[in-house]
Amino acid sequence: MNDLYPFRVYSPPRLPIEEGLRRVRALHRHLDERRSVRLFSADPVPAECIEWAVRCANTAPSGAHLQPWKFVAVTDAGIRHRIREAAEAEERQNYEGGRLTPEWREALAPLGTDSDKSYLDVVPWIVVCFAEKSVPTPEGSLRKAYYVNESVGIACGLFIEALHTMGLATLTHTPNPMAFLTEILERPAHERPYILFPVGYPGPGATVPDLTRKPLEEALEFFPANGL
């Protein structure tokens, strides 16, 4: 017990196993339909959708409950264009300037990605998630955050799923290095750009590589194997 967080009872209703399984199968069907896209529609998306997606992200568990994330949402075409120009400049060095190792290029080849990030001019929103290596206190100082990557990664996962629930598409774009986002979006030094999300509806004629998920046996092992 402490003064900051008085404890309260938490007793969500216990679901019958069959009902839980029914729900998780439906969730899996929905999650499995999600794909990253690189061709977006310019159709507008209300700010309210972005707000709901960030509300969902904001429920993520975090180290010491310090919630070390900040989502910055941009719809202004001029700012989106500046982001595009800066992202493409970095990506040209990656793809054409040899900054990607041959092994990396080979891994990317089946996806057909390149330095053209024209979707950044098309999408109604760019949302950049920043990770806070320290977080502001109510007194105006900064305190160190813990497990920042883990916390922000989980928040971004929830953000992606919330967009998908609304029929919106995104792409986890990390135009490494991303320092230009700090500058363009005028972020303070304790925030580090984490993932750039173009957000919108999939464009007419968008295609995705016909990927499959790895089989459960490769994603999950019970240990010991015969211990069930």
Nearer to ligand IYR by Cβ, of 119 and 125: the residue is 119
Q: Using CB positions, name the residue nearest to ligand IYR.
A: 113
Query: Is residue 173 at the binding interface for ligand IYR, with CB under 6 A as the rule?
Result: yes
Task: Record the tokens describing residue 124, joined without a space.
Answer: 């109604």
Nearer to ligand IYR by Cβ, of 77 and 111: the residue is 111
CA 191 to chain centre: 16
Separation of alpha carbons 61 and 64, rounded Å: 9
Find the shortest distance in angstroms from Cβ 109 to ligand IYR.
Answer: 11
> Is residue 113 helix, strand or coil?
coil
SS (H, E, C) 46-89: CHHHHHHHHHHHCCCCCHHHCCCEEEEEECCHHHHHHHHHHHHH
- The binding track of 56-95 with respect to ligand IYR, each residue x by CB under 6 A or -, is -----------------------------------x--x-
Quickly count: other Cβ atoms within 10 Å of residue 203's Cβ: 18
Find the shortest distance in angstroms from Cβ 220 to ligand IYR.
Answer: 23
Nearer to ligand IYR by Cβ, of 113 and 134: the residue is 113
Residues in the site for ligand IYR, rule: CB under 6 A?
91, 94, 108, 113, 173-176
